[in-house]
Amino acid sequence: MKKIINDTKAPAAVGTYSQGVELNGTIFFSGQIGLDPENGEMKEGFQAQLDQVMKNIDALLEGTDLKRENIIKTSIFLTDLGKFSLVNEAYENYFTAPYPARSCIQASALPKGALVEIEVIAAR
């Protein structure tokens, strides 16, 4: 049976989707953008948005009693693939080895004008 994830410490969904869905111990979190959950405003600039994305992911993990180590896959969407090295730096600060699997693509646009979006899959 699936369980819907809804946590007020992370930004509310900005469309017709859930923050996440858990099925059989695997949690599929929707993509996070640089929205501040306290005021709903988008952070200014790539680095500020990336930092907020990571905070939003942490909030969702905490709300489901998980940790970063439970993340098994990430999907990263950038409006400028030239920022890929900044994502790698953030990963080095955010994760410890062994790292989760990941993919990264450039998108022409992201919701609400975001510069970066990251979705994660975690497992209990």
pLDDT at 1: 87
- pLDDT < 50 regions, the chain: none
Say how far apart CA 18 and CA 70 lie, in whole Å.
20
In the chain, the percentage of residues whose pLDDT exceeds 90 is 92
pTM of the model: 0.94
Question: What's the pLDDT at 15?
Answer: 84
Torsion angle of the four alpha carbons 97, 24, 29, 90, in this order, in degrees rounded to the nearest 10? 0
Q: Confirm whether 3 is a catalytic residue.
A: no
Euclidean distance between CA atoms 112 and 29, whole angstroms: 18
Which of the following is catalytic: 104, 107, 110, 121?
104
Domains delineated in the chain: 3-123 (3.30.1330.40)
Quick one: what percent of the chain has pLDDT higher than 70? 100
Nearest-CA neighbor of 30 among 55, 6, 62? 6
Structure tokens given for 101: 């699997």
Q: Rounded CA gap, 97 and 75, in Å?
A: 18
